[in-house]
Structure 1
Amino acid sequence: MSVTINVGAAYQARLDARGGILTGPTANLAPGHVQANLAILPEELAHDFLRFCQRNPKPCPLIAVSETGDPSLPELGRDIDIRTDVPRYRVWRNGELVSEPVDIRDLWNEKLVAFLIGCSFSFEEAMLADGLPVRHIEQGCNVPMYRTNVPTVATGPFSGPLVVSMRPLKAADAIRAVQVTSRFPSVHGAPVHLGDPSLIGIADINNPDYGDPVEIREGEIPVFWACGVTPQSVIANIQPEFCITHAPGHMLVTDLLNSSISVI
């Protein structure tokens, strides 16, 4: 897969995150650029997590892995510092969320490895270009995300439920969304479920586990994609002593272009 690098809006977004100006969700920010979910783990867990991602490519499509102890990711863009360039982080200790800082320089150490995972915000550009509505962008809020009863493929100590993101669409638009998003396997690809949320263990569609609820209008059905927040449900399940993730919806904006990860 060839990739295209571009700088400008994406670099500015990272500078704004680094400077504490950008602290909110990144949906539709720097249009055209690949965004990435984040999981930072101690080196002793890194190999098993890499295998977990390989065995669960729908929710965890890897786009980059850092060198141990190195916060830079030059393959993803200019001057990236993973300790500062995400708008908001989550710090986990023994599976419990303990803080949501905007900077993790004081927590970084030479034994940590950063994993960058593809984000569905990338295929939303293609949906919008095709005239398909993206409700959380319309409403100016975070995408709704839900823990399901669908298990991931357990690998080493890593196991737990699949997390999905949801976008409501009319039936004809949902069919078109399947066609559009299937071109982007490195950012979750086609939906994993359409329709009745109870069939995948979601009890209340208006009460997401992460993000914000969105309006589902008459004639629309919920459409669910595998989500890069899945590692956070796994972390809560296996309770590692220490790890760091992004806050849901608060992504690393890279210099890669969405057009370069499509399989058209």
Structure 2
Amino acid sequence: MGTLATHHLILTYLTWRMRFVPVRSRKVAIWSGGVDPHHFAAIASQVRPLIGKVERGEDLTPHLSGLVNTLGFAMPEVSAEKRRHKKDHVLTKTGLHHFHVGAMTGANPRGRSGRLVFADVTDDEFKIIAISDHAAFSIGSAEWTRLFGISNRYIQSQLPAGAAYMAFPTVSSGHPLELVVYADHCDEMMTQTDSRLDDRAFVESLYSENNAVDGQPLLQPARPTFKWHFENCDFGMLETKTRTFFRVYFSPR
């Protein structure tokens, strides 16, 4: 069996984990530049369960691809063809998550219809950019071309007139460039800081310079124990006894 360097292991985790959507309530919006109002009205019954969950802050994982529930990565010795299916290439190239929608019935308990909602998901907003199907993942197909056209127009709509941009550049391995750089930063931070986690002065500074979510001072255990940790895709140190997370970097996505 092969082994993975720390940088590669971090990048593998991030490429898988970015497919999930952190659980929190969001405002739903529909971008008219990519979604026809008449078409959306016709399929509203299929999309409504998803919208309700988004607004209530429920877990959206049941609407994601079933592939996110598998191992999510492949070792280097696995063939390129098999590794290709471990990444969400539309998410990588457009920044858009896709969600399966459909009316839940006795015969269709998962509420799947073959129809997909593509959305730009931030901490506060769930903006539906396009309605499509699995043909959007067939590189070179008419639906693939249509979706990427919508994605480019959407990105352009967020920029000042005439501004140049590069939409989600990727490296030769197929990973997003921003995640590669982020993984580098995480790896470097671990190398530079690991030995300091046993330094009393450094540990005390962590507690004195940070507060709890409610603004109150953090209580330092007599003998804190730390491990490197990702909270969703945010990187930092977790004190394992109190489950206190010291965030070092915010995820780029």
Question: Which protein has the bigger strand share?
Answer: 1
The structure richer in helix per residue is 2
Structure 1 and Structure 2 fold alike (TM over 0.5): no
Larger Rg: 2
TM-score by length of structure 2 reads 0.25
Output the TM-score relative to the length of structure 1: 0.24
